[in-house]
Amino acid sequence: MDMFCVEGGHVLHGTVRINGSKNASLPILAAALAIEGEVTLEQVPQLQDVATMRQLLQSIGAVVELLDDGNIRVDARHVRSSVAPYELVRQMRASVCVLGPLLARFGTARVSLPGGCNIGHRPIDLHLRGLAALGADIRLEAGYIVAECSRLRGADLDLCGPHGPTVTGTCNVIIAASLAQGRSIIRSAAKEPEVQDFARFLNAAGARISGAGTSIVEIEGVDQLHDVRHTVIPDRIEAATLAIAAAITYGDVIIRNAPTTHMTCVLNALNLIGIPIDATHDTLHIRASSMQRPARLTAEPYPGLPTDCQAQFMALLSTIAGESQITDTVFPERFMHAAELVRMGADIRIQSNSAVIHGVARLSAASVMASDLRASAALVLAALAAEGHTEIRRVYHLDRGYHAFEQKLNQLGAKIQRTNDGSQNIVPRPHSGPISLSISRQA
């Protein structure tokens, strides 16, 4: 497995460009399965998760091409299968995004349950509740969700869960409702920019969706979706991560192709910490100084601070004198990175869904282990600020969501070396125990 060796203490300077959004690309690629035409996507990032989604689409029978100009073309016209196998789904939870498209197009879908996850309990009951409200019969068979319907019917449904709305669940129900008969209203929809991009993509393919980006999305079903060309939005989480990298090293960094209008809460949090940022429509200029203040932050559904930035902010606050606090209301158990940061000298206590952080004068290098995608990014940021050489193992988590991350940081003056630690990624055996599933059909 690949690991990073990071020499800390280098100030970042220079300009860096943001890639297309991972979280926008994945449901859009999955939705291509429901489109009886050619789908051409621009600005899809070259990431492991995108490669996994491409593999999944191919295994279902779609033709997926990586074009010379970096764009991706998907042609699902000749797809006949509607099965998403465990071997691929277990590698990435976003694979569940194929459920809505397959069901809507073929009237049947058999998608493996995604299984466990390092950032806490991640059920998919809201996805299933939404699809059931549109008329699908859903059952569980040998670890697979089996969904069936003759033709989906429009419905008025609510997707609110115990931790707020669901992003990929909203996408699954939007695509299903787009090909349902009649009109649907989705209440408590996720408002994330990735959901807005998903709706823009589908509307360009002939869907009739309005209200995406608000909590009420209205959809007039259509019979078929057609050829479409779409440019995916830039990745707000990558932009935020690099902004925090600049802040933690007291750097001076210009970030181009940043979706600044999607980053208001992140920029407000950085301002609160005392990091001045000049933002124009697609550029951020971070000029960080050492005059940084502790803060109390809460990760919430959009337009709140993204849970996907919680770990990176924790790394930054670990280096700022005084008491800070971060609460995560979206994934209340998403604190695996805290223990690794503590190994680097951070002072962090977890209390329920919050972390209380007492900033230390300097983090120190250690051997640490990445546990999930954003946790890996947080460890890299901490290592940039730490004294000495930090070894970060299992950076395959990072490669799932950041393209050429260490190269971008190295171009800004970081010293990160990727090597192989000689060990192998052990693939877990499929879960074979009993799983219970309850779905309530709404009127």
At closest approach, how far in Å is the CB of 155 from ligand UD1?
17
Tally: H helices and E strands in the chain? 14, 24
Phi (first) and psi of residue 352, to 5 degrees: 55, -120
Per the DSSP assignment, residues forming a β-bridge with 358 are: 323, 347
* CB closer to ligand UD1, 77 vs 121: 121
Residues in contact with ligand UD1 by CB under 6 A are 23, 26, 93-94, 121-127, 161-163, 166-169, 190, 194, 307-308, 330-331
Amino acid at 196: Q
At closest approach, how far in Å is the CB of 32 from ligand UD1?
15
Question: What's the half-sphere exposure (Cβ side, CA atoms, 13 Å) at 326?
Answer: 34
At closest approach, how far in Å is the CB of 166 from ligand UD1?
3
At closest approach, how far in Å is the CB of 239 from ligand UD1?
15
* CB closer to ligand UD1, 163 vs 226: 163
* CB closer to ligand UD1, 340 vs 372: 372
Phi (first) and psi of residue 43, to 5 degrees: 65, 35
Q: What is the distance between the alpha carbons of residues 178 and 225, in angstroms, rounded to a whole number? A: 9
117 among known catalytic residues: yes
Tokens describing residue 405: 């991350």
* CB closer to ligand UD1, 128 vs 395: 128
Tokens describing residue 357: 């952080």
At closest approach, how far in Å is the CB of 313 from ligand UD1?
14
* CB closer to ligand UD1, 132 vs 286: 132
Cα-based torsion angle of the residue sequence 33, 72, 226, 109 in order, rounded to the nearest 10 degrees: 0
Coil vs helix vs strand at 30: helix
Catalytic residue selected from 117, 160, 265, 309: 117
Cβ atoms < 10 Å from Cβ of 77: 12
* CB closer to ligand UD1, 170 vs 390: 170
Answer left, alpha or beta for residue 360, where phi above 0 means left and psi between -120 and 50 means alpha. beta
Burial label, 148 (beta-carbon count in 10 A; 0-12, 13-18, 19+): middle
* CB closer to ligand UD1, 190 vs 365: 190
Indicate the pairing of strand 228-231 with strand 38-42. Answer: parallel
Angle between helices 310-317 and 336-343 (to 10 degrees): 30
CA distances from 133 to 97, 190, 195, 213 (A): 17, 17, 20, 21
Burial label, 204 (beta-carbon count in 10 A; 0-12, 13-18, 19+): middle
Indicate the pairing of strand 389-393 with strand 367-369. Answer: parallel
At closest approach, how far in Å is the CB of 417 from ligand UD1?
28
Asked whether the beta carbons of 33 and 8 are under 8 A apart, the reply is no
At closest approach, how far in Å is the CB of 190 from ligand UD1?
6
Which residues are designated catalytic? Answer: 117
